[in-house]
Structure 1
Amino acid sequence: MSLRLLITDAMWDRIEPLMPADPVRGRRWADHRRTLGAIAWKYRTCSPWRDLPRELGPFQTARKRLIRWAVDGTWERILAAILSAADSADDIGWTVSVDSTVCCAHQHAAGARKKGAPGRSEPDDHALGRSRGGLSTKVHLASDSHARPLALHVTAGQAGDAPAFEAVMAGIRVPRSGLGGPRTRPTTVLADRAYSSRAIRAHLRRRAIRAVIPQPADQIRHRLRQGQAGGRPPGFDPEAPKERNTVERCIARLKQWRGLAMRTDKLALAHEAALHLAAILIWTRS
């Protein structure tokens, strides 16, 4: 897979102004475009770092840059800037869908230290959990109405969807090009029955966000058994969930990257950074 096929000239024109400037002292950065192409090639093909093609530069440079920019928040800043430009062009669909997907973990993903390194936002369990399917990581995400990722959050594979909902919603922060703080509130949130809880509905109601979440059968039965004490059923538009395919399409886009569909990184920090890079390229390609 050539560099040209990973990052086109049009995509690079949007990304280049957002890249970190060369340090005032010390060695200059290696070619940013080649480094991004190297990281994208590794995760698109799910190849070992040492198999990186020679024309994409030393694998040590790409691997260190992935971690360094994850630690200092560079990947998130680039994605936020691209989202800000899209919002200025009225190119973000604010009917947001939330869901999660499980990524199986390769045996090479295990074995990191039990506690994250100091100074890094690395969870102690490295977002790895064991279930019937073995080691896995769960990616929680929110997508806009055009199947593009707005926020990403990783947890252990056995973790539930509902407890991560507020973390995903907190990740939606689109800076405005003019005055005012970042936009954090979509107009509507679509989710499946796994997110049907009083806490989630109350959270959305406090923020004046319309919730389109169906109730599972056991919650309906429990409410009916309580009679009048059970209260009224939550409002639900049966046509709106048809738009929830956007988050499934967004997940499919991310999992076209084989290194994201199957995790090989020991650090959750690296896996989440690769997810952010994939999101950056999805937005710039569109």
Structure 2
Amino acid sequence: MFVENIQQLNRIAFEFGNFTVYWYGIIIGAGLLLGWILATNESKKQGLPKDIFSDLLLWAIPISIISARIYYILFQWDYYKENIGEIVAIWEGGIAIHGAIIGGVLTAWVFAKKKGLSFWQLADIAAPSLILGQAIGRWGNFMNQEAHGGKVTRDFLENLNLPDIIINQMYIEGAYYHPTFLYESLWNILGFTLLIVVRRIITLKKGELFLGYIMWYSFGRFFIEGLRTDSLMLTDNLRVAQVISLIFFIAAVLLIWYRRRQECEKLR
């Protein structure tokens, strides 16, 4: 193998003097923009004010980023307490999607209460946007060469029929790795497609599309996380993301069951 022939992508998009713009931020921003467009169009169809998601995102985006960073730092505190200056360096990576979900959901709940709107309606509208944004955002991890799995051979990656641009980017410090960012991105794209189809052809109870998103994402993340080598750990063998995914999945199932049971009791 002639490693000198391996061409990799630069995670820096461009620079202006001392100001550096990373592909990670651009890709995350693109995911947010597409998600906003999708949610805005759907909210118009459902008769909500046209600026409702613009107003919501003014609060939800910064709060979600902060909560995603806090979540990550809490589980890496042994490192960050010795490197306080790096706490704000989110351009280096180190935000956790589960933290963003928690912050975003709480923000949306408070926002809906303040506006006199249904939280579940807003959540259903946002569900496809969320999983699409996550699918796109994983390519930021690709540019940073992070969120990958264990070591594999180049032959393994070639047998997946991956283009050279992905295979070469998975060559990190002398070895090739599982492109788990890609596995999760593809899983989320499939989930996005299913959510859009379900929304169009099946009548669900308000909130169930969002809970379906939680179940779909959590199920896939649980297994994909098991392949990763950079997981936040609770113990030597227990991954934080797997525990949270399991809790999210069970909570979503129980909420659907409880709300449907309550509805049946009202009809008696």
Could you tell me the TM-score, scaled by structure 1's length? 0.26
| Greater fraction strand | 1
| Greater fraction helix | 2
The structure showing larger relative contact order (alpha-carbon pairs under 8 Å, at least 6 residues apart) is 1
